[in-house]
Amino acid sequence: MKKLVILICLFLIFRQLHAQMPHFQLPSGRIYGKIVDNAGKAVNGASVVLLQPTRDSAGGKLRNILVKGVITRSSGEFNFEDIPFQPDLKLKVDATGYISLEETIFLAQAGTGPSPASPGTSAASLPGANMPAMGNTEKDLGKLTLISNANLLEGVIVSSTSKPLMRLDLDKKVFNVEKNLVSAGGTGLDVIQNVPSVNVDIDGNVTIRNSSPQLFIDGRPTTLSLDQIPAASIESVEVITNPSAKYDASGAGAGILNIVLKKDKKKGYNGNARAGIDSRGGLNGGLDLNVRQGKFNVTASGMINQMKDKTTGTTERFNLTTTPQTAISQSNVDKNNGNMLFGKVGLDYFMNNKTSLSLEGVRMHGEFTPTGLLNTYTDSLFLSGKRTSFSQRDANNSRNFNGGGLKLGMKQLFAKEGEELTADINVFGGKNTNNANYFTRYYDQGIGSNIIGTQQQQTIGTGKDRFYTLQTDYVKPLGEKTKLEAGLRASLQHIENVTDNYLYNQVSGKSEKVDAASTNYKNNNNVYAAYLSVSSSIKNFGYQVGLRAERSNYNGDLITTGEHFSNNYPISLFPSVFLSQKLAGDQQLQLSYTRRINRPNFFQLIPFTDYSDSLNITRGNPDLVPEFTNSFELSYNKNFSRSSTFLASVYYRRSNHLITRYLDTTINAISGKQDLVNTYINANSSYTTGAEITLQNNVSNWWDMSTNLNLYNSRINTGNIGGGSSEALWSWFGKMNHNFKLPAGLALQLTGMYQSKTNLPVNNNKGNMGGPPGMQSQSASQGYIKSFYSIDAAIKKTFLKNNAAAVSLSINDIFRSRRTDQYSESDYFTQYYSRLRSPQMVRLNFTYRFGKADLSIFKRKNMNSDNSMQNATQGMQ
């Protein structure tokens, strides 16, 4: 039945390719300029209004309706914001002693107006037309001169940006997630689970095309994880599968996942309050506030989110190299209770119409208390027969972190449209502590029988990190069709960590530190970069070529042993090429090539063996070298009769010296026995090739859907270490999202995903909290994941005036099917592993929007020109 539902939905998608275009939200833009006299001197107190001609429905008479109006300051400057999409607007300027000035302004969607390339060519199809900046269109009208003759200035065309559910740019797909119902009351992980092209496993590991992407926030790398970002603060998600030279070259071939946060700059004040609860008793709440008056814009937001996860799992492992060989069977129940606080305050100062400064601070605090119960049955296979031992381990942990950051930015616009300079400094730091206690009981006849021995282990750890980013970008139009972009960037990171392991000595009655299992280290990792990019067009053909240069170094110290590790990577060049050809019938072809790098981090390099979890031992490899990836992608885009958008891509990605996890053996410093250890290797190479289809379709005015299908083949070659390579495997991944507008202010959302059998992804996830011991996925080169699917649903009811209030009810993983089943093997073991995390989670959330527009600008009177507003509004009769 479930497969039949999926097939029916797929049939409906392609049957409706010729339906209506997706609904767009009303676009808004900004228009500003300066009023001067014939001598170039600023005109103070001039009235500037925007009017819309409207025909009276009764008498058919043409009338001018006021849209907005302002009085110029002593500098002569004026500024209109939040201008809605309206055809044939009129700009009218009046001042005592001057002849009125009128302008006709056509406000059009960005990318839909005529392009210099050729009549009818969409500007969005040209390289760089929509990249990398996002948000509302800004237009500098420059200096408008009031003179004593009847000469009028030429009209100006202003473009504005709308917000469809999906937008296709040259180097990325942009998904608007503001109205995502399923993620209401959740975190960034809940948002990403419903974004096409992105797969999220039950541990929160994110993959795009079966590899881990680099996480950005507002176009900059971040040390935050997705579960530390509230869903309510996210405006859109950018999926950048083949990043250009403008972006960091690090991150290998998986691309970039850019989280764009909300930031409101409407005049007056506005905000929203929200609260919710889930079926496990987890509470969430938050408040967002924005105040804009004069030259200042202040934003503030706060959020609290409680976590009450439950995970169950089993593991069957057969160890081939132990003497005797052993068969281990484990079952676990793990819970992770905790809460997270998140707060942000921002200030924007608009010095004038062209220069603005911004300051933003963020603060977060998290406390988690993971607990777990692990039952283990071990069969030792002696020649004389099988001998079984039984153990049960209780884990009681406490972890907390405190982090904070500060961002200072500057934006300078120039008289020439499109020319701008930005610079920002981003500082982030955090501290964390953890205390883990493991108590293991050994039984003679089975769990719950006579106890024949115990072991107590304690791990105490502290850590801190500091992250500095300095970046500047410059954009310069070179004529009507060509644009130059350049920038500099420095990224500096410092990490410190202390981990001490203790075992309880039953003879002395004290916990004794195990030096071989304890560590104290610190390291610095620095990357310096510069880039240059040029984009242009020749008729319907557009191109963008870029080159990025990066140099990096790291150094680290193991304080306990006095060992020092360092490496300097020389300057490497990373070219990028994007080609675009506009075809007849609103079609477009795009071809891109990029080169990227993935440098081993300090945790992967240090040879220290971490025994803090005896069932998940890890060790670095100091012989690792960086991996380099070359990526090619060919895309076809088609818009069907203003009803749907269709994107198809084929891609190929090849990496040399791929860094991947690998299972090896070691002598356990705590038990003295041979054990398995998770480490890292450079595989010879790897490749991924595939085809992807993304579709956004409005079936009707009450039903829209988005669909993503990805068919791929991947393989990791580990022949350089003697076996263990997985065979090439064809897999596919699909995701579908349906939105229904129902009567009585109701809205319904249904989402589903399916992942077929696939190779284990290269897992570079860091900082995952609360995972059960011994259940982590193994090497990406040593196994596969079985197929699975999941379906989520949510319904929302809006009410009160202007739909200011809303209540939503959502349920995740309705059929308890988002289960991770893995098979892993090597020369040392074979393993089957299964886990299910917090299925059928139900969330109930309430939101309330509030605000008041600033209308005081229409009540102000200028003593130097009492009649200027009156004269300006006479045309409204």
Tens digit of each residue's pLDDT (9 = 90 or more) over 356-375: 999 999 999 999 999 999 99
Sequence-ordered list of residues with C-beta below 8 angstroms from that of 153, at least 6 positions apart, any chain: 101, 103, 144, 145
- Provide the token pair at 7: 């097939």
Dist. CA 301–CA 429, nearest whole Å = 20
Answer whether residue 200 shows pLDDT above 50. yes
Per-residue confidence (pLDDT) for residue 415, from 0 to 100: 84
Residue 2 covered by a domain: no
Residue 261 lies in a domain: no
Query: Is the pLDDT assigned to residue 857 strictly greater than 50?
Result: no
* Rounded Cα distance, 65 and 213, in Å: 50
The DSSP-derived string for 42-105 is: B-TT-EEEEEEEEE-TTT--EEEEEEEEEE--TT-EEEEEEEE--SSEEEEEE-TTS--EEEEE
Q: What is the pLDDT of residue 125?
A: 36
pLDDT at 466 over 60: yes
Mean per-residue pLDDT, 51-63: 67
β partners of residue 733: 710, 755
For residue 796, what pLDDT is reported? 87
Q: Say if residue 509 is in the same domain as residue 636.
A: yes
Residue 576 domain-assigned (yes or no): yes
- Name the band, by pLDDT with cuts 50, 70 and 90, for residue 59: low
Q: Are 41 and 34 in contact (CB under 8 A)?
A: no
Q: Where are the alpha helices (DSSP H) in 728-813?
A: none
The yes-or-no verdict on residue 159 having pLDDT over 70 is: no
Q: Can you give the pLDDT at residue 684? A: 79
Kindly state the percentage of the chain with pLDDT values over 70: 77
Residue 871: pLDDT band (50, 70, 90) is very low
Give CA–CA dist 417/211, Å, rounded. Answer: 39
Domain boundary among 143, 162, 181: 162
Let me know whether 513 and 365 are in one domain. yes
CB 423 within 8 A of CB 472: yes
Q: Tokens standing for 361?
A: 């601070």
Identity of the amino acid at 522: K
Helix (H, G, I), strand (E, B) or coil at 758: strand
**CA nearest 739: which of 182, 4, 21, 5?**
182
What's phi and psi for 130, nearest 5 deg? -120, 20
pLDDT value of residue 32: 82
CATH code at 91? 2.60.40.10
Q: Which of 128-142, 276-290, 516-530, 832-846 has the lowest mean pLDDT?
A: 128-142
The per-residue pLDDT for 65 is: 74
Mean pLDDT, range 534-556, rounded to an integer: 92
Location of structure tokens 């809303």: 806
Instruction: For residues 271 and 742, give the distance between their C-alpha atoms in angstroms, rounded to a whole number.
Output: 26
Which of these three, 162, 187, 208, is where a domain ends? 162
| pLDDT tens digits, 368-396 | 999 999 999 999 887 777 888 999 999 99
Pair 306, 455 in one domain: yes
Could you report the per-residue pLDDT of 231-244, keeping only the tens digit for each?
777 888 888 888 88
**Domain membership flag for residue 670:** yes
Higher-pLDDT residue of 725, 282: 282
Could you tell me the two tokens for 741? 């507008």
Among residues 490, 458, 459, the alpha carbon closest in space to that of 472 is found at: 490
SS3 category, 606: coil
**Contacts of residue 479, Cβ cutoff 8 Å, sequence gap at least 6:** none
Choice among 63-67, 466-470, 655-659, 871-875 with the minimum mean pLDDT: 871-875
Q: Which of 39, 193, 290, 325 is nearest to 849 (CA)?
A: 290
Could you tell me if residue 211 is inside a domain?
A: no
Other beta carbons within 10 angstroms of residue 22's beta carbon come to: 18
Q: Give residue 717's pLDDT.
A: 76
Q: DSSP letter for 484, please.
A: E
> Per-residue pLDDT averaged across 184-191, rounded?
69
* pTM passes above 0.75: no
**Whether pLDDT at 25 is above 90:** no
Check whether residue 157 and residue 273 sit in a common domain. no
CA atoms within 13 A on the CB side of 324: 14
Q: Is the pLDDT of residue 259 over 50?
A: yes
128-142, 524-538, 798-812, 857-871: range with lowest mean pLDDT: 857-871
Residue-averaged pLDDT of the chain: 78
Model confidence at 409: pLDDT above 50: yes
- Residue 26's pLDDT is 45
**Angle (CA) 685 686 692, round 5°:** 155
CA distances from 172 to 168, 238, 243 (A): 6, 6, 8
**Which pLDDT band holds residue 589 (cuts at 50, 70, 90)?**
very high
pLDDT of the residue at 285: 92
The mean pLDDT of 84-95, rounded to a whole number, is 75
Choosing from 120, 142, 162, the residue where a domain stops is: 162
Closest-CA residue to 139 (of 113, 159, 119): 159
Number of separate domains in the chain: 2
Residues 6 or more apart whose Cβ sits within 8 Å of residue 323: none
The answer on 151 and 294 residing in a single domain is: no
- What number is the average pLDDT over the span 481-501? 93
Say whether 390 sits in a helix, a strand or coil.
strand
Q: Which of 185-189, 214-218, 320-324, 618-622 has the lowest mean pLDDT?
A: 185-189
Q: How many CA atoms lie within 13 A of 289 on its CB side?
A: 7
- Residue 539 is part of a domain; what is its CATH number? 2.40.170.20
Q: Is pLDDT larger for residue 132 or for residue 826?
A: 826
Domain presence at residue 379 = yes
582, pLDDT greater than 70: yes
Tell me what pLDDT residue 532 has: 97
Average pLDDT over residues 725-734: 79
Tokens of 544: 């963008």
Which token pair is 32?
């500003």
What integer pLDDT is reported at residue 185 of this predicted model? Answer: 58
The answer as to whether 184 is a domain residue is no
Pick from 119-123, 147-151, 238-242, 688-692: least confident: 119-123
- Compute the average pLDDT of residues 785-810: 89
pLDDT category at 128 given cuts 50, 70, 90 is very low
**576: pLDDT confidence band, cut at 50, 70 and 90?**
very high
Domain range enclosing 376? 268-346+361-852
Question: Residue 798 pLDDT > 70, yes or no?
Answer: yes
pLDDT of residue 636: 92
Residue 246 confidence class, pLDDT cut points 50, 70, 90: confident
Between residues 679 and 859, the one the model is more confident about? 679
- Average the pLDDT over each of 9-23, 129-143, 686-700, 716-730 and give the range with the smallest value: 9-23
pLDDT for res 289: 87
Q: What is the mean pLDDT of residues 811-829?
A: 88
Lowest mean pLDDT among 135-149, 686-700, 863-877: 863-877
Residue 203 inside a domain? The answer is: no
Q: How confident is the model at residue 326 (pLDDT cuts 50, 70, 90)?
A: confident
Query: Could you tell me which residues are beta bridge partners of residue 306?
Result: 339
Give the confidence band of 770 by pLDDT, cuts at 50, 70, 90. Answer: very low
Higher-pLDDT residue of 83, 479: 479
Residue 151 and residue 288 in one domain: no
